[in-house]
Structures are given as structure tokens and as C-alpha cells.
Structure 1
């Protein structure tokens, strides 16, 4: 008798990896909606609000576990448990006020996984116990970095297999190198990949190549499965009044240029400000636009404060906000002339870019990393690219989007078609087929979850 597969998603709720967390919970929702049993095991922080009703949740460990270089059961279970009685916004605010604290926690977590002969033995035993209690047959680790923990939990006789997904692991690799664990990190990840029943998943072709170059994994042990986004259904655009309520000074008759995503230095938002200033220098010939910047931050207000000061110094009128609700996020995509994603990082993918195109909005991205793959499909393009790190070229391409109506119309018409390549169903099908399972038909879920910027 065949046993129906039961899934666990092992992920981290840290704000540094919000895009990765969204991907993992989107996959969890997709599997659950197809009738599979799904439970999410959280590390450091949790984002249960991203999950559909009916999905189980367990806090595998709190961030306090890694306050010191050696994992602390007391700080994890007792102190961490008590802190989690506080509202999440208060916890996040307290951590962000302590400069470098998140990096400290992540550094100590890496030490526990890669510095010794066994990766955090007590946590591996806890994970194994949860898996046995929940009847999990397939553990999906949302980061390749967590591979050694999954491998240790599996041991030699566990009744489950695990699959690894790489998304954002280059940041862990860089941090491991900074603390003197570069080679143990790479060796540990490679060993966990070898022990897995399946090839590891990379979220773009470019990212797969980056893993080969930087971590030394074999390309034969990698499979590309692109991330998925919820495609908006047919219907009228959201009312502009929703945007007006959040940004009273915005006008509907002037093009909106939007950046939406994490406000951190690696996202290159300052390049967008320089590009806007270069266009403004054209005086009367400058194309009219309204610049909107919004999204969460994981490391405090430092970079946001820099952006505010820089915009003021450059004489730009910037409509600036933090986290936006899912409904406002969709309205901003739908009413924006274009979305600019000016990252200075070699991005693994680009969820914001796929989301924007799904609303029929052209995008502008660097010609570097997995994000550059997202805007093209079978000869169609849903946006333009600019030379990475080049604010002058960013200004030129942005000017084209604002001034060339025929070009903008063509890209907007292509955008939805290109974005359909990254549907949630395609991602879920790809993951299931990769693990040798026939995808089950979709069924309506009892409750849905929103997405936060």
C-alpha cells in the first residue's frame, strides 16, 4: 500500500530572507491546496500569516538559541518562548535597534552547523522528533545551508527523505567565509547534497551557475525550478483611491515609477535616485514622473534614513513608506508606469519583478543575475535591462520607458504572458515532478494568506 506523501517545509522567518520565506510559504500553500498534509518548521522567527489555514506550524528554534557562539537550550526554549509572547512588531523593532545583532545570530547559527563534527546535535534530534511525530515523508529545506541539519536529523534509519532548495545561500556562504568557516561550509553543503535523495533545486539558471562557481557544487546535482507568484485574476484594476489614501500627494495623471521590496543597501535604491536626478537635469525636457519607494527593512532604519537624506540633497520629491499591505501592493503594481529593481547584488531570482509583470506593468532590472532571466520568455520581453551598477544607463532606460509610448505598450502587453511562466502551479508541479511524484489537481483552500512587502 502506497503511503500518501506528507510534507514539512524547513525555513527561516528572518527578515533578511523575506523573499525566500515567501517562496517557501507559497509552495506550502500550493501543496496544501492540492490536498497534501503540510507543516512548517520555523527557525529564528516565524511568519505564520503567510500560510493558509490548515497548515501546521512548529517553532523549531527561536533566534535566542544563537545569542552566544554555542547554542543555548535555555535561551531558546525559556527566554525565546517568553519573548514570543510579545507582538512580533515589538520583537522585530527591538532587534533592529541593535546594530549587527541579526548577523551575530546568523554567524553563531553557522558555527553550530559547520564548525563541529556534528551540526547542532540537540536541534537535529528535535527536528527528527517533530518529523516522526508529524508523519513527514518529505522534508523540503528552504536553504541549502540547512542541509547538514536535515542530514543529521535523517541519520541512518529515518523514514523520510529531504530535498534542498538554494535561494539566498550566497549570503550565508559569504558570512561563513568572514568568520573563517568558508571551506567547512562548502564541504558540509556538498555532503548534504550528496546524501539527499534528489538533486538540489536552484531558483534560476544563473544562480545554479553561481553555486557551481562559489560553493563548488557539481552541476549534475542541481535542478532549476523557478519560483512562483500568485497571478492576479481577471477583473478591473484596484481603485486609485487606495493609493491616494496611503500617498495623498500622488496624482493619477502623472506616471508612477515604483521601487517595492526590501530597503537594504544591496538593493541599490540609491542608484534609482541618482538616475532620477540625471533625468531631472534635462529641465523642461525631463519626462514627468512620481517616484515611490516602499517596502520592509530587516536591518533597521539606517539605509532608509540615507535614502531620505539623499533624496532631499538631490532635490527629489520621493514618496517614501515602509511595509505596505497586500491590497495596496497590488494597487501600486497595477497603477505604476513601471517598476524598477536596481539591485547591486547578483540576485538569485526576483519575485517583485515577476509580481509586477503579472499585473501588466513593465519592469527595469540589471543585466546581471537570475533577475535578468525573469523578464524574457520565448522572444518576448516584459521589461528592459540596464548595465549593472550604472546609474547613467539606468537613467537612459528609464527615460525610454517614460517617453516611448509604443515601447511601453509593447512591454506591457508582453508582461502578463512572460509572468505566467512563473505561476505558483508551475513551481509546485516542478517541485513534485522533480521528486518523482505526479502533481495532484488543485483544490480550493479554506482560507488564504496575504503577502507583505
Structure 2
């Protein structure tokens, strides 16, 4: 007899969806900390280091499955486990050296999911996992995985409900276009929405608008539940930690920080142009750019070359530890999020405000919702794609002490809307489930 409810999270562990993975595992951990039984099912890659002890993990399929346009069971179940004997850092580095390989895997995945037959063997495997783990509630990281869940449910033998979340599906829609299956993609997502017991979760109101405009989805089929991040106050690390990671940083000069994926849609080149404009005006600042990359080193190399061409000496790093991340937030004058994409949310923005650091974001997409709560704001906006306006707004943050102090004061208050508890309770309420408190004797251990 299954306990009720029992959750499983189905997520794609590819680095291109790192923010989505963090959100999903944060939710899984929060549910587990409240005493629910939780499992995590991975596709393509894993980030098992983010998962709390006591949460079961299964590999639904390896990235090797989609090496060719037609999914390969042999490469998935035979080669995949062997490749996973290689340390993850080495696997990821190897993939990133092959330009476009991750795009190819994801295009093949979507092409297979929305092909004439779908992926019956994968759906059967998912159905077996759900039955084995006695899952009653399947949480899908992406609405694009809805047809897979629906196909698994049609196999019968185990009853479960599923909830879909929209948080990066516009990228999958683009893969569907390049794979030539966009009409099937749009129809399949709509069918999966109708077959779910609940409306889909979308991570911002603007994202709902975008999905209605671009995918012709019914507005009534979606409801906003904002993402949650760890807002726990931490003692500021010594500035020496930053100097060790970024030699030459000076404590007396304001730090402007970009922290996040270094991929082309993040618009970091716009920030370089803006900083060059401010250098011409002799506005003192130090630029730090750091974070992982999902799609290869090409864009990082372009940024380095662009900095040299512009005569900029900026501090350029890769992925950072949680401790260094918190130290960067604590010692930065502001965080800039210059994305050229119509971002659904913006976890880094919420995290920075949670530490009392003002932010600067484009006036486009769901990220603009993150910085405001009624009359309070934790940052400023600039005109999207406009490096000149980005420079003007950045100069305001650097030169207007009263404005900066006001934004810093209000940032923590604004960020409270995006706590892990708020997200968890929002998802549970959405599914008409009672919110449990933390299990006795347990502390919240949020993903970072």
C-alpha cells in the first residue's frame, strides 16, 4: 500500500538548465525536510551532489541515448553507465570542447519525444520506476516532458498524477522547430496540460504571457508559483577570500558583479560595452564575471578577447563555490543581469537581493517581476539590449549613495517573496495538499 503522497521529480541535469535543476532539487529537498517521501529521476546528466541524503535517485536515461537522431537503447544502457564512471567534471569538460554537442543532444531528445511514436521504451521505464517507488505525484521540471509522463500513465499498472512546470520550455520549442516537430510539440504539450489534474506551474506572470504568445497555450491552463532560493543570512566572508580567487581586487573600489552561466543569451558582452563607456567617463569600478558554461568555452573566449580589444582589465573566472558565491554577493556594490533573453525568472537576482545587494536587470521578461514588491524595489532596470542605458543606470548605482542605500535596504524585503518555504507551500497548495512543517529536529538545508 502506497503512503500518500509520495513525490518524484523528473529533471534534465544538463548544465544548460542549471537554474531549473537548482529550483527542482531545492523543492525536492524542501519536501523531504517536511517528511514526504521523495525520489529524483535524472535525464542526460546528474547533479546528485545537490540532493539531500535520504532522497532516492534513479537515472532514467543517459545523454548518450541521443547521440544520434534516433534514440539508441544500446548507447543509453550500455555505454552510458560506463561513461558515468568518468568523473563528472571530466565528462562535462569533454562535452563542452565539442561545440554544439549539447544542442544536438537536446534537439534529438525533443525530436524523439514528439516524433510519431514518442519513446515507448523510455515511457515504460518511467512507469516501472514510478510503480517501484510507489509514486503518487510526479513533478515534471518542464512541460515539454508532459507527453512522456502521459505515455507512462497510459501503460497502466500504477496510478499517479503529474504536475508540469514551465521554466525553460521556450528553449525546447526552439529545438522542436529545428527538429521539424514544432506542430507536434505544441499539440503534445497542450494535450499533456489537459490530461493533468492541475493547471501547470509557470515561474512568472510575464512567462505566462510569453507562452500564450509563442506557443498558443491557454492562459487558464497555467498558474504562477515563483521560484524559491535560500535567503538565510550569512556572516560576510573576509575580503581576502575574494582576493585569493581574483588577485588584484581592491576593497576600496566598488565591485560590479556578473554571476551566472556564461552563454551567449546572457548578454555579458553588453555589460562589457557599458563598463567601457563608464571607463571613458572615469567612473571607478571593478568588474567581476564568473560562472559555469553549458555550451562550450566559445563565448567565454569571445568575452576575454572582447575585453582585450576594449582595453578592459576585468576579473574573469569560472564556476564558484557556495562560500565564494556568498562572499561575492556580500562585497559587491551591485549585481548586473544583462540577459538578452526574455528570462522567465532569475535565481541569481533573487539570491543577490536576499543578501542585501542591489541588482540591475533588463526591462524585459519575468526577471523584472523579481526586483519589485508593490512600492519597494531591490534594484533598477535598463532598456533591453541597450548598453548605453545599462551604463547610465549602472552609473546611478555607483554614484548615488542615497539611491543605493535605499535599494540595499529594501532588497531583502523584496526577496522574501522568493523563499524556499513560499515556493514549497505554493506548490503544495496548488496541488490541494496540506503544507507540513519541517520534520521534528530537522533544519532546512537548501540547495545552493
TM bracket (short chain): over 0.9
Q: CA RMSD in A?
A: 1.4
Per-residue CA deviation, residues 196-234 of structure 1 (Å, 9 max, x unaligned), is 01100000000011111111111111010000000123x
| In the alignment, structure 1 residue 330 sits paired with structure 2 residue 326 | yes
CA–CA separation in structure 1 for the residues paired with 2:42 and 2:446: 17
CA–CA separation in structure 1 for the residues paired with 2:232 and 2:258: 19
* Conserved 8 A contact 2:6-2:38: yes
* Conserved 8 A contact 1:49-1:449: no
Aligned to 1:148: 147
SS at match of 1:276: helix
Aligned to 2:118: 119
CA–CA separation in structure 2 for the residues paired with 1:228 and 1:366: 21
* Conserved 8 A contact 1:53-1:447: no
CA–CA separation in structure 1 for the residues paired with 2:442 and 2:152: 31
Aligned to 2:265: 266
Aligned to 1:288: 284
* Conserved 8 A contact 2:255-2:286: yes
**How has the CA–CA distance of structure 1 residues 445 and 62 changed in structure 2, closer, same or farther, with 3 Å as cutoff?**
farther
* Conserved 8 A contact 2:256-2:332: yes
Q: What is the number of equivalent residue pairs in this alignment?
A: 446
Aligned to 2:179: 179
Shift in Å, 1:4: 2.2
**How has the CA–CA distance of structure 1 residues 2 and 176 changed in structure 2, closer, same or farther, with 3 Å as cutoff?**
closer
* Conserved 8 A contact 1:326-1:450: no
SS at match of 1:39: strand
Q: Which moved more, 1:102-111 or 1:81-90?
A: 102-111
Shift in Å, 1:53: 1.1
Per-residue CA deviation, residues 170-217 of structure 1 (Å, 9 max, x unaligned), is 001011112211111000000000000110000000001111111111
Aligned to 2:410: 414
SS at match of 2:35: coil
CA–CA separation in structure 1 for the residues paired with 2:2 and 2:101: 47
Aligned to 1:110: 110
Aligned to 1:305: 301
Aligned to 2:85: 85
Unaligned runs of 5+ in 1: none
Shift in Å, 1:445: 4.4
* Conserved 8 A contact 1:53-1:448: no
CA–CA separation in structure 2 for the residues paired with 1:449 and 1:264: 26
CA–CA separation in structure 2 for the residues paired with 1:45 and 1:446: 28
Unaligned runs of 5+ in 2: none
CA–CA separation in structure 1 for the residues paired with 2:28 and 2:183: 32
Aligned to 1:20: 20
CA–CA separation in structure 2 for the residues paired with 1:138 and 1:113: 21
SS at match of 2:250: coil
> What are the residue-to-residue correspondences of 1:104-253 with 2, within 5 Å?
104-116=104-116, 118-155=117-154, 157=156, 158-233=158-233, 236-253=235-252
Q: Which moved more, 1:78-87 or 1:90-99?
A: 90-99
> What are the residue-to-residue correspondences of 1:335-350 with 2, within 5 Å?
335-350=331-346
Q: Which moved more, 1:65-74 or 1:393-402?
A: 65-74
Shift in Å, 1:108: 1.0
| In the alignment, structure 1 residue 379 sits paired with structure 2 residue 375 | yes
SS at match of 1:437: coil
SS at match of 2:58: strand
The TM-score normalised by the length of structure 1 is: 0.96
* Conserved 8 A contact 2:201-2:223: yes
SS at match of 1:413: helix
The TM-score normalised by the length of structure 2 is: 0.97
CA–CA separation in structure 2 for the residues paired with 1:435 and 1:199: 9
Shift in Å, 1:377: 0.2
Shift in Å, 1:287: 2.1
